[in-house]
Structure 1
Amino acid sequence: MAPASLLDLVAALPPSDGWGPSVATETTLDGVPYAPYSKADKLGRMADWTEGKDRERGGRQQYGNRNYRDQQVYGANQQNNPFGIIAAEEEATFSVVDNTRTTTRGRGFGRGGGTVFRGRGQRGAQNQRGGARGTFQRVGAGRGGQQQGYDNRGGRGGRGGRRFGYRDDKPQRNRDASIQVRPDWALLEEIEFTRLTKLSLDTPDGEDIDSYGFLYYYDRSYDKQPGAKTSEKRLNVLERAAYNVTTSSDPIIQDLADKDEGTIFATDTILSMLMCSPRSVYSWDLVLTKQGDRIFIDRREGSSLDMVTVNENAADAPLETSEGNKDTINSPSGLMMEATHINHLFPIQVVQESESAKRDMPNEHPFYNPAEETDPAASKAYRYRRFDLSLADSEEALHLIVRTELDAVVKNTISGEDQFLTIKALNEFDNKAQGSGGALDWRTKLASQRGAVVATEMKNNSFKLARWTTQAILAKADMMKLGFVSRVNPRSPNDHTILGVLGYKPREFAAQMNLNLANGWGIVRTIVDMVLKMDDGKFVLIKDPNKNMLRLYSVPNDTFEDEGSVMEKVEEDGDDE
């Protein structure tokens, strides 16, 4: 005897007088086929009155988004759905009458703003044309000055959304360190740039200790309208003796240290690197030596500290050849060599060399020896200045002595007094090449859009310009001259043309580029305090090549002194062979 079904057992039960409906004896399941079950089936809305209306408007279903998730029909994954309802022919003429005025409230760029986005359409969007490839959506003005739209992958863009195609696929650049950390170096401190930018120390204007060298007068003919054809002049190669002596090798600084004139000693190029370090991108290093209560901040031999970078702060900085850049002359190292060469020649050319008309400092040139040099000395004056870095609540004096440099002198047209200048040069390599940072064409835009050209340079070369401005303020220069030098041929880094020169007051230029000198002095004081707490020895401060961080290492005293002897020994061994 076959077992009874569940329905038969229920039907056999006696009727109950309790709560609930009475048990029916008839069933409606006879003849209905079994509906297979699929885990992919989803239960959505019981009724959707908007689907037909959206199809009528020409909208496009967004497969994969959250709206489509609730629009799947139960059992849709089956090939033959036994519960599918065939619409009657008369339903084709049925339409929903809706007189409600639909409005979309978008967010634009403030009052009256609007923009156009390209991408897949969104159902029911206003001012939208459906199509097979994509749609155009106009987003009008709204409150808050924000903008909200749809990106090209069907996702919701705008506030809080992901911006596809904008640095998502940009690989992380791995730059090389300026110096290799050795196993015997001890890590003392790691300082993030976010901490450095919060430091501040109000330091009074420095005082002059002494001045050396001489200065030629600036040639005012270079101050013609920048960008004009008549103001262009060829950059010439002039052989002049120029010096870049590090701190501990400077005889004047050594003499001041022996007289206890200060506690910290540095040059303006080294000090500006430390004061503007939060703006730096490339790796660099400084050597700090503590001898008793004195600290000497030096650059090591062979360091790129004095090299002039190009577009270091650009959003799309120049690529190295190892990163796929086939254009060697426009690589960071090639541009550095070119910019350094230009900044060596430009200050020499824009002065009038006349022995009868020049400004002599109280002391002779500290590094130039006429008996040994074959080339004449370049126009250069060295000011040794002292700054007080003492804290307000501290009785202990902490003085810093820095060697600053001046490049030329000019007569004031009103008062007739001499004004001291620092002279630097910005260089243009190719505004269409990779790494140009969106720079304008100087030959066509320097005369009409001078402000835009300078603003772009402030953005792409923030660190370099901050250092130059800091050096001018440290030297107490009256004016800073910026030359605009471009290649004669964008494919050749050898020939250049001077397009014009602009002059700025250092303090005003610092305010334009948001340069805070108090923050720089706070950074110097913080690093110095770290070293003063250590025992006598040698330390190396390195900027991490790929992170916004400084690292302070304690190194052996003979770290950089034995390299020369090792090289000489190798050469002698080679000669013997």
Structure 2
Amino acid sequence: MSELPGFTLPSVFDNPKGWGPSNSKPTNVFSDIPYIPFSKGDKVTRVANWINPNENRDTRDGNRGRRQRDAGHQAYGSGTAAAFVYAADEDEESFSLVDNRGTAMRKIAVRAIQGNTRSGNAGGARGHARGGMQRLGHQVNNRFGGFRRRYGWRDAAAAQRSASVIASDDWKEIHEIQFSRMKDLSFDAGDAEDIGMYGSTGTWDHTLDRLSVRMDKAITASSVPRFNVSASDDPVLAEIAEKDSRVRVLATDTVIAALMAAMVSNSAWDVVVNRVGDRVFFDKRDGGPMDFAPVNENASPPPPSEAKDANAINGAAMLAREARDATRSLIAQATASKTVELERKNPFSDEEEKDFNAYRYRTFDLSAQESEQPCLMAIRTEVDGLTAEKSPRQLFIRALTQHDISATGAGGALDWRTRLDTQRGAIMATEMINNAGKLARWAFQALVSGADQIKIGYVVRANPRDSSRHTVLGFQSYRPLEFIANLGLSEYNAWGIIKALVDLCLELEEGRYVIMRDPNNPLIRIYSVPPGTFDENNEKAKEDEEDADNDDEADMV
């Protein structure tokens, strides 16, 4: 049996006064090894650092975070004698990398690298500036500002759009207002004063709150007329202005909401301003963009709006008409359980025609504190329904539509039929990107009307190729101020825009003017137009709309 190797315990010198070897018993083990002095400025957080302190680290370390972390620190041993500093040999100094590419190719590569760096920095700056512009002075919240920058806002801005109305040669441009000048406006309109509620409305069907993808409900097309009379033709607004001389501005909630959400919208629109005496009327054109809610106007790319696609079911014009009809049908079906008669009769109903809308008239104080002459604004707002409670709450109901997710202008939306129950937050976030302008209009319209709750229904086509049959998959409820905050908008900035436009219009001479949202630039223009402009167009628009409604009724029959 072989002997096992022996093991000898090395000598251990005990130091009773502290750590390390004792001075009384020095050892000569390390006597021939050069000693490197230690400095408190040396970095000793790593075991070893093989980087030459005289060499640029950017060529070795591609990690930007490490470069920033190591910046300003002295490499371990960098202050030692020359014996510890690396010196290149003669062979290495004579070495050079051979580049077989031509001089022109090297210049192109350098330019490409520089271009990518500059474009990245400039893109970040432009994205930051645009985010500030889209916020409209968003002091409240900007949750979805990053989404707007992420999903190709440059492409949406570069898309060429058509104006809502063509400016004639006899129109005179008197003002041009950039959106950047409007984002810092702020005004507190205070609490509104209620004048009265007119017409009749229905009560909300609470069974609709339990809808889901598996328990959806078909929408019955409604032929109930719902008027949208301009402010100049509203007899109640005229009566309010006649009784109270302080009322100097008259408008409807659709027009005021569009002006409040001006900077969020991408599609073109126009508002007719009638300056009569010491009063200003904010009117709309019958059959114009104020009568329709655009679909995916902020998407990249938006739905096609060219003349060749005008009659296509997925074109911008047809989608807007489909969304309007879906909203009308949804309101009529969701509030059909019980009819409530309001304080006064509907001012637009007579024996021949009946209007099934309900209205709430309110006044807001736009007087400045230092101003001696008071200025009130009277607004006609809509009441879509009431809750079936002891103290009923006012509702604002709208339909958010999805047509065909594979069509141009769908905006990369998720399929609501398969994702709504599990990813409702992501779906709403996408809609806040693609329909930012429309949702902003709804939010401000509900705020102006004094609604207690916003009910948004998710409506899809029964068949993606058929735009006449729809199904509602569910509803989502918001408070108006909560919804405004989720959109990243500011109530005070919205009123600041209205205050500035009102002051500007009150300084104009008597006549007719047009406020236009430029279709391709972030600004609005104010034109002075001849008297009687749009009068003939209004009559033609009414006839066209009546013919279209008759065609729709014939199709439903």
For normalisation by structure 2, the TM-score amounts to 0.69
Structure having the higher Rg: 1
Matched with 1:334 is 318
Map 1:353-368 onto structure 2 (within 5 A). 353-354=337-338, 358-368=339-349
1:283 and 2:268 are equivalent in the alignment: yes
Measured in 2, the distance between the counterparts of 1:174 and 1:242 equals: 33
Instruction: Find the counterpart in structure 2 of residue 271 from structure 1.
Output: 256
Counterpart for residue 372 of structure 1: 352
1:547-566 equivalent positions in 2, closer than 5 A = 547-563=521-537
Q: CA distance change for structure 1 residues 336 and 107 in 2, over 3 Å: closer, same or farther? A: farther
Q: Are 2:208 and 1:222 equivalent residues in the alignment?
A: yes
Cα shift at 1:361: 1.2
CA distance in 1, matches of 2:116, 2:323: 41
RCO higher in 1 or 2 (8 Å CA, sep ≥ 6)?
2
* In 1, Cα distance between equivalents of 2:295 and 2:477: 20
Which residue is equivalent to 1:160?
118
- CA gap 1:257/1:460 in 2 versus in 1, 3 angstroms: same
CA distance in 1, matches of 2:340, 2:368: 37
- Counterpart position of 1:426: 400
Alignment partner, residue 396 of structure 1: 373
1:437-452 matches, within 5 Å, as: 437-452=411-426
Q: CA deviation at 1:424?
A: 0.2
Offset of residue 565 of structure 1:
8.4
- The alpha-carbon distance between structure 1 residues 366 and 99, as it changes in their structure 2 partners (threshold 3 A), is closer
The aligned residue for residue 296 of structure 1 is 281
2:501 maps to which of 516, 527, 535: 527
User: Which one of the candidate residues 386, 390, 394 is aligned to 1:409?
Assistant: 386
Deviation of residue 167 (structure 1)? 9.1
3-state SS in 1 of match to 2:295 = coil
C-alpha separation between the residues in 1 aligned to 2:315 and 2:436? 19
Deviation string, structure 1 residues 257-301 (Cα, Å, up to 9, x no partner): 222351100000011111111111111111111111111110123
Aligned-residue CA RMSD in angstroms?
3.1
1:156 to partner: Cα distance? 5.8
Question: Partners in 2 of 1:523 and 1:168 — Cα distance?
Answer: 25
CA–CA distance in structure 2, aligned partners of residues 216 and 567 of structure 1: 30
State the Cα deviation string for residues 345-381 of structure 1 (Å, max 9, x = none): 1101111343xxx322110111122x213xx753x32
Deviations 1:425-483 (A, max 9, x none): 10011222221112111111111111111111111111101111111111111111000
Structure 1 residues 446 and 389, CA, compared in 2 at 3 Å: closer, same or farther? same
2:162 alignment partner, one of 158, 176, 190: 176
* CA separation of 1:276 and 1:564: change in aligned 2, threshold 3 A: closer
Does the alignment pair 1:471 with 2:453?
A: no
Change (3 A) 1:155 1:350: same
Partners of 1:483 and 1:348 lie apart in 2 by: 13
Give 1:393 shift: 2.3
Which residue of 451, 459, 467 maps to 2:433? 459
In structure 2, do the counterparts of structure 1 residues 167 and 352 end up closer, same or farther at CA, with 3 Å as the change threshold?
closer
2:465 & 2:64 partners in 1: Cα distance? Answer: 46
Moved more, 293-302 or 262-271: 293-302
Q: State the SS of the aligned residue for 1:540.
A: strand
CA distance in 1, matches of 2:321, 2:295: 10
Q: 1:566 to 1:335 in 2, by over 3 A?
A: closer
The alignment status of 1:251 with 2:211, answered yes or no, reads: no
Q: Which runs of 5+ in 1 are unaligned?
A: 1-97, 112-150, 569-577
Which aligned pairs between 1:9-408 and structure 2 lie closer than 5 A?
Answer: 103-107=60-64, 155=113, 159-161=117-119, 172-227=158-213, 229-230=214-215, 232-259=216-243, 260=245, 262-321=247-306, 328-354=312-338, 358-369=339-350, 371-373=351-353, 377-378=355-356, 380-408=357-385
CA deviation map 1:326-363 (0-9, x unaligned): 99222211211211111121101111343xxx322110
Separation (CA, whole Å) in 2 of partners of 1:362 and 1:457: 37
Please, which runs of 5 or more residues in structure 2 have no aligned partner?
1-49, 69-108, 124-151, 543-557
